[in-house]
Amino acid sequence: MPKYPRTFQPVVAAICALAFAGTAAPAEKPDDRAVYDRIVSLAGDWVGHMEDPLAGPPVAVRYVVASAGRAVIEYQDIGQGSEMATVYFLANGKLRATHYSGAGNQPAYKLGGESTADLVLLELDGGTGFDPDHDGHIHQGEIRFVSPDRIEQRWFHYVRAEGTGCDPLVPGKETGGG
């Protein structure tokens, strides 16, 4: 039984173009430090299902606060041979993250401009071990704070579609997949 039983609902989505419709005024982007503190609050073990919150493949995620509170390490698929880690941190007061993929690449992210207090959008901001225009990689991610004991994650995997005019983001086989 996990020390901190919580619900974790990763959702993987395929998109080529994303459009949002709404009449509400856009929310002000949250402070990077406040978002980081919210990620710190996730410390502990989370369990849930991929793709379908009730029947999808099971997933276990652990958040560990490290380096005297200066980093949060998110471990996915612990001990399953496909373990991946994402490290969240502040650099010059700005939220950053680096994903260490089982594919051997390390995409880097920054807080997206459309983020809100309850939705952390991670935008690609470089990385190592891949060519972002040609190689498969996790191109963006989302963490949605649904309630104190429930979050949802979506990770978008970039794969170049040969012979098309669109370079779609397609579902990864694993949440956070490379």
CA distances from 8 to 101, 102, 105, 108 (A): 20, 21, 25, 23
φ, ψ of residue 38 to 5 degrees: the values are -70, -40
Q: Does domain 7-11+27-171 have CATH number 3.40.50?
A: no
Q: What is the pTM of this model?
A: 0.76
Q: Any idea where the domains of the chain sit in the sequence?
A: 7-11+27-171
Tens of pLDDT along 96-151? Answer: 999 998 888 999 999 999 999 999 999 999 999 999 888 999 999 999 999 988 99
